[in-house]
Amino acid sequence: MTKVIRTENLTKVYNHTVVPVHALGGVDLEVEKGEFTAIIGPSGSGKTTLLNMIGGLDHPTSGRVFVGDTEMTALKESKLIDFRLRNIGFVFQSYNLIPVLTAKENISFIMLLQKRSKEEMEARAIQLLQEVGLTDKADVRPQKLSGGQQQRVAVARALASRPQFVLADEPTANLDTQSAFNLLDIMQKLNEEEHITLLFSTHDQRVIDRARRVIKLVDGKIASDERR
């Protein structure tokens, strides 16, 4: 199988306080294409920090992150942003859609940054809206969508650039049960049918139940790694 993500001895130490906080303590991880992986663990175990490192949003204190054959930790800021744009999709806990853009524009926005053609953007945005069941909300701005709908738009946005993998940080944390199930159905379908690699950080048992691999972090280290 193709390895999409690889980390080598990834550590992160925060020195904001008097006592240094070791958020990650030497994480070695490999994620293969098409995996549906949940990273679980108690608060402060380093889930979000690990996702930020893999997503190139934060720099490790030491260690390396590879996406495909590219060592992302060696990229400079401008190249890193471009790399992130083309290879990684993000879904955040609080949706984080651009409030002044409609659902369709939010999805197209990523493709626009990639300088895709207008026709391609239009077709892809409509396709993604169909996949997340929001065709009728294409021209609606985020504040007029429910939390579940916003998160589905966020998933569509994350997939718009056809990334190598999607990072989702507690994507169901703010959703009610029904919305969470709808979202998970969509993501599971995308994973199974389009082999999209998904990496979640979560506390949510509903997500854990769907995942085919569960990695447990404790105190910044992998305590268990279970494939189902």
Binding range to other proteins, per CB under 8 A, among 3-11, 67-75, 86-94, 199-207: 86-94
Minimum distance, C-beta of residue 73 to other proteins, in the bound complex (Å)? 15
The only residue of 52, 151, 179, 182 in contact with other proteins, by rule CB under 8 A: 52
The answer to whether the CB of 43 falls within 8 A of the CB of 91 is no
Indicate the residue type of 138: A
142 alpha carbon, distance to own chain's centre: 19
Q: CB under 8 A: which stretch of 38-46, 77-85, 128-136, 210-218 binds other proteins?
A: 77-85
User: Within 10 A of 78 (CB to CB), how many other CB atoms are there?
Assistant: 8
Q: Which of the ranges 17-25, 36-44, 68-76, 107-115 carries the binding residues for other proteins, by CB under 8 A?
A: 107-115
Q: Are strands 70-71 and 213-218 parallel, antiparallel or unpaired?
A: unpaired
Residue 105's φ and ψ, nearest 5 degrees, are: -65, -35
Beta bridge partners of 224: 216
3 state DSSP class of 99: coil
Q: Minimum Å distance from CB 177 to other proteins?
A: 26
Two structure tokens written together for 6: 């690889």
Q: Is position 61 an interface residue for other proteins (rule: CB under 8 A)? A: no
Q: Which residue has the tokens 């940054």?
A: 113
Yes or no: say if 199 and 54 are a contact pair by the CB < 8 Å rule: yes
Could you give phi then psi for residue 93, rounded to 5 degrees? -60, -45
Whether the Cβ atoms of residue 55 and residue 85 lie closer than 8 Å to each other: no
Residue 81 C-beta: closest distance to other proteins, Å? 6
Q: Which residue has the tokens 């998933």?
A: 155
Q: Which of 61, 96, 127, 135 binds other proteins (CB under 8 A)?
A: 96
Span near other proteins by CB under 8 A; candidates 17-25, 66-74, 104-112, 185-193: 104-112
CB of 209 to other proteins, least distance (A): 28
Residue selected from 5, 10, 23, 90 as contacting other proteins according to rule CB under 8 A: 90
Site string for other proteins, 144-163 (x = CB under 8 A): -------------x---x--
Shortest Å distance, C-beta 75 to other proteins:
13
Question: In the complex, what is the shortest distance from the CB of residue 174 to other proteins, in angstroms, rounded to a whole number?
Answer: 14
Dihedral sign for Cα 56, 92, 197, 111, please: negative
Binder to other proteins among 6, 47, 84, 137 (CB under 8 A)?
A: 84
What is the contact surface with other proteins in residues (CB under 8 A)?
A: 52, 55, 57-58, 78, 81-82, 84-86, 90, 92, 96, 98-101, 109-110, 112-114, 157, 161
